[in-house]
Structure 1
Amino acid sequence: MYILSSNGYYHFYVLLTIIFYVIELAKSDIGTASRYSPPYSPTTCFGNDPTQFPSSNLFAAAGSGIWDNGASCGRQYLVKCISGSIEEACVPLDGPIQIRIVEFAENIVSEASSPIASIILSNAAFQTIANMSISVINIEFLQ
């Protein structure tokens, strides 16, 4: 009978963690993001309700690909900057940020009016993950 030592359990745990991380990454979508500025209210999802915005101000408008006829209102997404038009496009972070969908992208004017944008981030969300000197970034996102 083989019994794992405490070191063996550690290696087994590390291996499982890596496997689960790779599986989660495989579920992620790739897209683009731009940003939009205030006024943020009223929104398509929640009107003038001030409680719709997370205290972190990390929220966004959903592009038509994830809008789902309004079903995306209130959904939370993990968003990570992966590249942009300049080398320093992404702010180095340990992981993705969590944003909340409060708006439909077709109802706002963004920095880069791109019909293919997956998500249009609030200024606070955009500057958390990307250099504000660019207007469009490539992202990885997961609901």
Structure 2
Amino acid sequence: MPNSKMPRHRHLFFYAFLILISSPPSSAELGKASHYNPPYIPTACFGRDFSQLPSDGYFAAVGDDLWNNGTACGKKYMVSCISSPFSRACKKEKTIQVRAVDRAKTAVSRSSQAGTTITLSRAAFEVISDIRSTWVAIQFKQV
């Protein structure tokens, strides 16, 4: 008759799995995103170096809360739209990764929205929201 007891290593795997699925997900932050248009160069992070802009066009200028004396330069963030004053502007199932390349306050082409956490390039904003919306509420997390 086969042994009905689970081998010891399977017990450990099972308990590790239970701990993993019961751990709370790492928290994301909430903020406001707007968008800006070219010219994107020069930036506060990398000046006139065009190689700083990802080829997919997914980058951002960060607000003062994230800027932190330039330490945000080059950091990557996962961003998703959670609500908007423009009806059905959010593309709810879309999340985008952007690279911080500028400071929103000093960007050559600034957003018109005060209090923006992240100002997304036009290409990045269009992935998560209808471009006709001037700003959206977002959930974001540094990766």
* TM-score, scaled to structure 1: 0.82
Distance 1:47 1:18, change over 3 A: same
Please tell me whether residue 134 in structure 1 is matched to residue 133 in structure 2: yes
The alpha carbon displacement at 1:121 in A equals 0.3
Distance in 1, Cα, partners of 2:21 & 2:122: 33
Distance 1:41 1:131, change over 3 A: same
Distance 1:122 1:17, change over 3 A: farther
Distance in 1, Cα, partners of 2:122 & 2:19: 37
The alpha carbon displacement at 1:83 in A equals 0.5
Structure of higher CA gyration radius:
2
Distance in 1, Cα, partners of 2:21 & 2:59: 29
Partner residue, 2:90: 90
Distance 1:58 1:3, change over 3 A: same
The alignment covers a number of residue pairs equal to: 132
The alpha carbon displacement at 1:16 in A equals 5.9
Choose between structure 1 and 2: higher helix proportion.
1
Partner residue, 1:80: 80
Distance in 2, Cα, partners of 1:57 & 1:101: 12
Partner residue, 1:23: 25
Matches within 5 A, 1:38-77: 38-77=38-77
Identity of aligned residues (%): 38
Q: What SS does the aligned partner of 2:123 have?
A: helix
Distance in 2, Cα, partners of 1:19 & 1:41: 45
The alpha carbon displacement at 1:18 in A equals 4.7
Unaligned runs of 5+ in 1: none
Distance in 1, Cα, partners of 2:6 & 2:90: 45
The list of structure 1 runs, each at least 4 consecutive aligned residues, that deviate by more than 2 angstroms after superposition, is 1-4, 15-20
* TM-score, scaled to structure 2: 0.82
CA RMSD of aligned residues (A): 2.3
